[in-house]
Structure 1
C-alpha cells in the first residue's frame, strides 16, 4: 500500500495511531508544508504517490469541480468520533483498498 499523507486537519494522534498499526504516514507538519494551499497538497501527494488523508471536504470539491489529478484520497467524517474510532475506520478502509486504487474513499 502506498504511504499516507495526512493533511493539517488530521489530528496528530490519528497519524501516530496509523503508524502504530504499521502504515507509513507523512504529515503536513512533518513535511514542513503548513500553509500550502489545497492544490499544493494534492500536487505534493501526487508527486510522491501518497494517499491524501483528510477531514476537509474542500478536497472533494476541488477534485470534482476542477477534475484535478490525485494519487487517491481518503475522506474521513470526524463528527462524533474519537481518535480511536478514526484510526480504526481509516485502517479498515486501507485494509480493503486495492494497492493501486486512485479513487476517493469515504470513511
Structure 2
C-alpha cells in the first residue's frame, strides 16, 4: 500500500459518529453506509475493505476472527482488522486515534488489533 496513513472502513455495527470524529481530525474513514454496504455479509465487508485498501473496524470479533484466520490459512492478505469492544463512539475514536497516530498502513497489513 502506498499511503503511509491507515484508511479505515467501519462496518455497519460501528456507530457512524466514530467516522465523523476521526474525519474531523483529518483521517480517511468511511462507513458501510457511505459505501453502500449495509446488510452485506461479513465476508463481503472484509472483501470490500480489502478492495479499497482499508483497515476494517468492527465489534463482531467472533465472525471476523474466523474470516481473518481463513485468510491467514490461505495465504491471502488484508489491510488489517481492528476489533473494538462496544464503548461510546467517543471512546472508540480515542482508542483508534492511538493506532492511527502510531501505526503505518504498511505495519497494519495482515494484522489484528484489539481496542
Displacement of 1:36: 0.9
Counterpart in the other structure of 2:85: 77
**Aligned-residue RMSD, C-alpha:** 1.3
Higher helix share: 2
Secondary structure of 2:57's partner? Answer: strand
4+ residue stretches of structure 1 with deviation over 2 A?
none
Secondary structure of 1:67's partner? Answer: helix
Displacement of 1:23: 0.8
Displacement of 1:30: 0.7
Secondary structure of 1:49's partner? Answer: coil
Counterpart in the other structure of 1:96: 102
Counterpart in the other structure of 1:19: 23
Among 28, 32, 38, the residue aligned to 1:34: 38
**Structure 1 alignment gaps of length 5 or more:** none
- Give the alignment's TM-score, normalised by structure 2: 0.83
Displacement of 1:83: 2.0
